[in-house]
Amino acid sequence: MDRVARTQRRLLLRTTRLFGLAGCVTAAMILSVPGVVSGGRYTVLLILVAALALTHVAAEQYDGRRWLVLVFLVGVGVVVVIGLSDGNTGQVGSASAIAAITSLGLGAVAARLVPLRRTWPLLLTAFVVTAVTIIVVTGPTALTIPTIGLTAVVWVAIGAFGGWLDTSIPRLIRRVDTIGSAYNAERLASQAESQRRQDARLLHDTALATLTMLAHSGRGVDAAALRSQAGNDAHLLRSLRLGEELSPVSSGSYILQRGADFTLDEGIEAVTDRFAGLGLTVNVYGGGQANLDPRVREAFLLALGECLENVRRHSGVDSADVTVSIDELTARLLITDTGTGFDPSAVPDGHLGVAESVVARIQEVGGQARVFSAPGAGTTVILEVPQA
């Protein structure tokens, strides 16, 4: 049962209980008026009314039709006992108590039965039995027809309210979900635009500035300084892919907020957080301390980032699983998705994403990368690198 159906059902159950308890409380208050009930039947009636209230509570908790049947049977029993217990004030008090039970105490079940059209015959039968019971216990008096009329009106009102809940709640929840989805889409779009502008500024201040100097043959710039600038740019961009964050000091001058010495778990968290901001949910399982050479760790995390980028761009799904496994000799990452998949042997030679950015990168640091995929069967990539 989805969230909409659960919410709808819970509201119908709660509505039935509240109407039923309102009828029980009203009847108990009327019966407590001196002279309404004769003899020692007051205590018995209060016990029966309390029993009806308890069946309403149980019908909400256990959500079974047998509890609705029990509610009806107990309610009819209460009506019969009230009708046999008229006091010295005549039938006005008992008729009022009976009306409270038959209209609210029994009519509450209409909130649950009206939304189920196949139960309408059962609901009609229950009302006929209720009306006959009223006639039998009150007799042919001036109060009989008003009591039946009030019962009918309340049953119709409660049934209409239940039908309204049944139709309006799903629409309301779907509308809220639509608004939430639109908000999330707008938020992601705003984040993506902000990131795009930051990336554009970063490229302008670093790589593009260096390339411009190269295009002008380094005129006015010492060759050693040019090499140093290019190396700094490469280090900065590579560190960003590993999840480090920029803190711009001024145009062309940046500080990385994360130090270079971070653990493998921190690196994985940084990479997955970066993709979370791009709309890809990454579930990470496992973990542990791995003693990796910085160069190996860098290749490991960059290959992970390339795998997640392929999931984001090509898989057709918005989530992936990353399982971390570390033993004495090897650190291992298992990246899986349930997307469209592909045939690794059919990838053209010019497409170097997996071959170079994943497999070759891991092999260069003494590790091993294996790709398992098939069209329509998702993709699994296993990355293994040696510990220092």
Structural domain tally of the chain?
3
- The residues, any chain, with a CB within 8 Å of residue 260's CB and separated by 6 or more, are 239, 294
Residues 318 and 378 in one domain: yes
| Within-domain flag for 224 | yes
Domain ranges, residue 220: 206-256
Going residue by residue through the chain, which has 388 residues, state the pLDDT in tens, using 9 for 90 and above: 466 677 778 888 888 889 889 999 998 898 888 877 766 678 888 888 999 999 988 888 887 778 888 888 998 988 888 887 654 344 678 888 889 999 998 888 888 888 877 888 888 888 899 988 888 887 777 788 888 899 899 999 988 888 888 888 777 777 877 888 888 888 878 877 776 666 665 565 566 656 665 666 555 556 666 666 676 667 666 666 665 555 554 444 444 444 445 678 888 888 888 778 767 899 999 887 888 888 888 888 888 888 888 888 888 898 999 999 998 889 999 999 999 988 888 777 655 668 877 888 899 889 999 999 999 899 999 999 998 7
| Within-domain flag for 142 | yes
d(CA 286, CA 10): 38
- The residues, any chain, with a CB within 8 Å of residue 190's CB and separated by 6 or more, are none
DSSP symbol at 170? H
The pLDDT assigned to 199 comes to 64
Residues 150 and 123 in one domain: yes
Task: Collapse the DSSP code of 175 into the 3-class scheme (helix H, G, I; strand E, B; otherwise coil) and give the result.
Answer: helix
- The residues, any chain, with a CB within 8 Å of residue 372's CB and separated by 6 or more, are 379, 380, 381, 382
| Helix extents (H) in 216-263 | 223-241
Per-residue burial over 297-322, b = 16 or more CB atoms within 10 Å of its CB, e = otherwise? bbbbbbbbbbbbbbbbeebeeeebbb
Residue 285's nearest CA partner among 273, 271, 269 is 269
Residues 37 and 91 in one domain: yes
Residues 165 and 22 in one domain: yes
d(CA 158, CA 186): 41
For the record, the structure tokens of 301 come out as 């995390």
Could you tell me how many residues make up the chain? 388
Task: Collapse the DSSP code of 375 into the 3-class scheme (helix H, G, I; strand E, B; otherwise coil) and give the result.
Answer: coil
The pLDDT assigned to 352 comes to 60
CATH number at residue 315: 3.30.565.10
Residues 268 and 362 in one domain: yes
Task: Tally DSSP H helices, then E strands, for the chain.
Answer: 13, 7
Residues 26 and 152 in one domain: yes
Residues 103 and 29 in one domain: yes
d(CA 179, CA 294): 45
SS (H, E, C) 326-386: ECCCEEEEEEEECCCCCCHHHCCCCCCHHHHHHHHHHHHCCCEEEEEECCCCCEEEEEEEE
| Within-domain flag for 239 | yes
Domain boundary among 239, 256, 273: 256
Residues 112 and 230 in one domain: no
- The residues, any chain, with a CB within 8 Å of residue 198's CB and separated by 6 or more, are 246
Domain boundary among 135, 160, 175: 175
Residues 330 and 357 in one domain: yes
| Within-domain flag for 190 | no
For the record, the structure tokens of 279 come out as 């709309």
Residues 232 and 311 in one domain: no
| Within-domain flag for 360 | yes
Domain boundary among 256, 281, 297: 256
| Within-domain flag for 195 | no
Residues 318 and 247 in one domain: no
The pLDDT assigned to 242 comes to 60
- Model-level pTM? 0.45
| Within-domain flag for 45 | yes
CB 36 within 8 A of CB 98: no
Residues 234 and 98 in one domain: no
Strands 330-337 and 379-386: antiparallel
CB atoms closer than 10 angstroms to residue 138: 23
d(CA 342, CA 244): 31
| Within-domain flag for 192 | no
The pLDDT assigned to 163 comes to 85
